[in-house]
Structure 1
Amino acid sequence: MKKNFLLLFMVFLALPVLAQEETPEMQEGELKAVVLNAQTGGPLESVHVINLNKVVGTITNKKGEFAITAAVNDTLYFSYLGFKSQKVRVTNDMFRFQETKIALTELAYALEEVIITPYQLTGYLEIDVRNLPINTAYQYSISGLPTSYEAGNKNPSAVTKVLGAIMNPADLLRNLFGKRPRQMRKLRQMKEDDDIRDLLASKFDRETLQALLQLEKVDIDDILSNCNYSKSFITTANDLQILDAISSCYEEYRILNRGN
């Protein structure tokens, strides 16, 4: 009897300890850390830090320090020009010590020979205009519709594509977004965060958008193509313009979906 009582007493003593060990798993709040150059060990200023789970962002100060809202198991995305982007999973220790150091590795660029062919301008407007490349993206406006539709090359199939999307848009957009509700819900959050918008405005590689939306580049291109954006826009627009384009198309899908 005494042995059973002693065992029970020890179990009760162990419960508070177990509770303390489990508590960090639920930690959430302001996380502080420092971003360093892996080669030199020096701090990196103006590194963009994004919490991919909460869709909030910030940048590092002159000392490489940053603070961001996070929880255990959130994923932080680090992006800095000339350095390899990196994802870091938030752990209990990062909250406990608040002195975590994240090192980014500098990219090594091998410069190859580049041949630049300038436009041969003659000074005569009529001749020079014919020599300059022409943007083959065309937009079609239809009376009664508030926005125009970009359809790429000017040919009959392009017009048919636009009209098909307008006459039967629900099916097209449902195929694009119906299987990605969680990713698409992040669009509005991304547009509302100034730090994320500033980062996307300077990017053209779709890498950050892929991380935020959990999509492959080919999926992003497919969405834009089926939303009637031209190939020239898809290949030349910055990531912020791409975000706005996807968001606009998704909002159209939501309106059409509510009507069904």
Structure 2
Amino acid sequence: MKYFVVFLFLIASISTVAQTTDTPVKVSGTIISDNTGTPLANANIININQVTGTTTDDKGSFEIAVTQSDTLHVTLLGYQSLRVRVTNDWIKNKKTTIQLTQKAIALEEVVISPYYLTGYLEIDSKLIPIKEDYRYSISGLNQGYEGGQYAPEAFGKVLGSIFNPADMLYNVFGKKPQQLKKLKELRKDDTVRNLLETKFDRETISLLLGVTKDEIAEILSRCSYSEAFIKTANDLQIMDAISGCYEQYKILKKK
């Protein structure tokens, strides 16, 4: 009987630990400036593991669902981004304070080179460079593909990228199902999507997908997105492009 009681106690302890580790709980925090100690409003907090996000209020306070060992990515314009690991102490105490460091911004000299126009349309139209990126649509798919600047082999490049069974998408994400799950979860959280819509640095995407910025550019290149799109699109457009490309790749692979 004694051993049976001990066995039940161990089972209950294991169950409690598992529940504490795996079940999301609400924690709160306050984000302040490490220089002045003042609370920082409108700071963005993204749970990289759960793909959920929130922002701080006027008092620098926020609340978010976490599990132990989750990583929170904290960003605010003019401050250095910060990654914070969720500890057991934070979960127990329910509250913590996070300090952000202000960026030292050095202004660089900007040289503006104007186009020297003659006033004659035929001549001026040749002086101003025009860069066009062509986008092709394939029957049966709901999304177009960019082939870059027009060239005879552009359309062939698109087809070759899509139907290539060794596509980099498979190499990168085929062994990372958790990252693909994040792409799907991203569509459910408006806070995260709204944040990505205002960002162009690829930092948050790299953390969410577990890839480097160079790999992001290569993935999109393999999906036949133009260099102009890769450089100028916001992070949300980049994320949706990767997600859409992979979904279509899976459909084509099944066929």
Offset of 1:95 from its aligned partner? 2.2
Give, in whole Å, the separation in 1 of the partners of 2:94 and 2:141: 54
Letter in 2 for 1:61: D
Shift of 1:253: 2.2
Quote the offset at 1:115 in angstroms. 1.3
Q: How far apart are the structure 2 equivalents of 1:230 and 1:98? A: 46
- CA-CA distance at 1:126 after TM superposition: 5.3
Q: Is residue 202 from structure 1 mapped to residue 190 from structure 2 by the alignment?
A: no
- The amino acid of 2:228's aligned partner reads S
Q: Provide the secondary structure at the position in 2 that maps to 1:115.
A: coil
Which residue in 1 is equivalent to 2:241? 245
Give the TM-score of the pair, scaled to structure 2. 0.84
Would you say the 8 A contact 1:37–1:103 is kept in 2? yes
Q: How far apart, in 2, do the equivalents of 1:104 and 1:119 lie?
A: 43
Cα contact 2:137–2:145 (8 A) shared by 1: yes
When residues 37 and 153 of structure 1 are mapped into structure 2, their CA distance, relative to the original with a 3 A threshold, is: same
Task: Quote the Cα distance in structure 1 between the aligned partners of 2:254 and 2:234.
Answer: 31
Structure 1 unmatched ranges of 5 or more: 1-7
AA aligned to 2:100 is: L
Is the 2:24–2:66 Cα contact (8 Å) retained in structure 1? yes
Q: What do the CA deviations read for 1:6-47 (whole angstroms, capped 9, x no partner)?
A: xx9xxx8xx89xx59968656741010001111111011111
Contact 2:82 2:100 in 1 (8 A): yes
Q: Quote the residue 1:254 is aligned against.
A: 250
Q: Which residue of structure 2 lines up, in the alignment, with residue 234 of structure 1?
A: 230
> How much does 1:155 deviate?
1.8
Question: Quick one: distance in 2 between partners of 1:230 and 1:243?
Answer: 15
Count of residue pairs the alignment pairs up: 245
Aligned to 1:41, what secondary structure does the other structure show? Answer: coil
Comparing 183-192 and 53-62, the one that deviates more: 183-192
**2:189 aligned to 193, 197, 201, which one?**
193
Contact 1:24-1:92 at 8 Å conserved across structures: no
Query: 89-98 vs 156-165, which deviates more?
Result: 156-165
Aligned-partner SS, 1:96: helix
Q: What residue is the counterpart of 1:222 in the other structure?
A: 218
Q: 2:99 is matched with which residue?
A: 103
Query: What is the 5 A alignment of 1:1-260?
Result: 28-120=24-116, 129-142=125-138, 146-166=142-162, 168-172=163-167, 173-259=169-255
In structure 2, give the amino acid aligned to 1:159.
F
* Conservation of the 8 A alpha-carbon contact between 2:20 and 2:67: no
1:94-131 Cα deviation digits (max 9, x unpaired): 12323310001111011122212244566766555444
Cα shift readout 1:195-234 (whole Å, capped 9, x = no counterpart): 1111111111100101111110111111100000011110
Cα pair 2:141 2:248 within 8 Å, conserved? no
> Aligned equivalents of 2:142 and 2:95: distance in 1?
52
**Contact 2:32 2:39 (8 Å CA) reproduced:** yes
TM-score by length of 1: 0.83
Q: What letter is aligned with 2:150?
A: K
Deviation at 1:189, TM superposition (A): 1.0
Partner AA of 1:187 in structure 2: L
Instruction: Give the 3 Å change call, closer, same or farther, for CA 48–123 of structure 1 in structure 2.
Output: farther
Where 2:109 maps in the other structure, the secondary structure is coil
Say if 1:122 and 1:140 are closer, same or farther in 2 by CA, change over 3 A.
Answer: same
Question: Which one-letter code corresponds to 2:203 in the other structure?
Answer: E
Residue pair 2:31, 2:100 contacting (<8 A) in 1 also:
yes
